[in-house]
Amino acid sequence: MSDQRPIGIFDSGMGGLTVMRALRARLPKENFLYLGDTARLPYGTKSGDTVTRYAVQAARALIAWDIKMLVVACNTASSVALLTLEVAFENLPVVGVIKPGAEAAVAAAPEGPIAVIATEGTVKGGAYVRAIQALKPRLPVVQQAAPLFVPLAEEGLVKGDIARLAAERYIRPLMATMPRPRALVLGCTHFPALKDVIAEVAGPDVILVDSAETSAAAVAQILKDKNLLNDAGGAMHFFATDAPDRFANVGEIFLGEPINPGDVEVIDL
């Protein structure tokens, strides 16, 4: 049987569209609802309690549309709110991006060291360190908060001097640690938008790890295991808590395809 209910995805802004892009590539017949909390961006500088409250509100808004799965396409929310969401909505499959990202990092550099760039909240919480070392204890992991990357991505400033200066500020100190990291985790779903400039500064010998692909694989497996796959869909609809026109214009950078402004609806959480 085909389950045509949509998959619900939320993020603090537009970065989670990189996860939705990977999901659509792997699951082209699924229907998707995406919620970007653009009015309260960024999540990474806020307390864990605040992010958890926002995450529950976003989840409830999506659940009201009868979603069959919830994807937390935000590393900060995944790091501090995933357990709360799993408990609050126990009958709904909930997938975060931290664990798939950690699995991809260990696969890319099984002997380490692994470097992680993320928001302040994700770095302070140590979610990636715990997830990576749960898979391989004592594997060396170094972290760096990169808060400027989020507003740069949201503004579409992903190339040029400003993006490069920010990348040099955050990446060069990581690459100077010894032994030199062999993999670099893009620990925020906004960061793949700056992938080219990050790769240029990190150097060709460093593997960039984007959790979007492994998260999409995890979602696909759960849908298959629970008989929730759809074979007759492909629709997208978007919610934004502020600036829907801007969401449609800039969101194309993350989604990799045009977003019809008429498909972006303002929602109040």
pLDDT tens digit string along 76-129?
Answer: 999 999 999 999 999 999 999 999 999 999 999 999 999 999 999 899 999 999
C-alpha–C-alpha distance, residues 166 and 153, integer Å? 12
Structure confidence by residue, pLDDT tens digits, 138-150: 999 999 999 999 9
Same domain for 147 and 76?
Answer: no
Of the residues 33, 127, 174, 188, which is catalytic? 188
Do 169 and 204 lie in a common domain?
yes
Domains: count for the chain: 2
This model's pTM is above 0.75: yes
Per DSSP, 31 falls in state -
Domain containing residue 224: 7-96+213-266
Q: What is the model's pLDDT at position 1? A: 73
What type of residue sits at position 136?
Answer: K
**Judgement on whether residues 83 and 103 belong to the same structural domain of the protein:** no
Q: What is the pLDDT of residue 167?
A: 97
Average confidence score pLDDT of the chain: 95
Q: Which two tokens stand for residue 222?
A: 């759960």
Annotated catalytic residue within 58, 69, 70, 74? 74
In a domain, 2, yes or no: no
Q: Phi and psi dihedrals of 34, rounded to 5?
A: -120, 135
Q: Which residues contact 248 (CB under 8 A, 6 or more apart)?
A: 238, 259, 260, 261, 263, 264
- Catalytic site includes residue 74: yes
DSSP state of 6: P
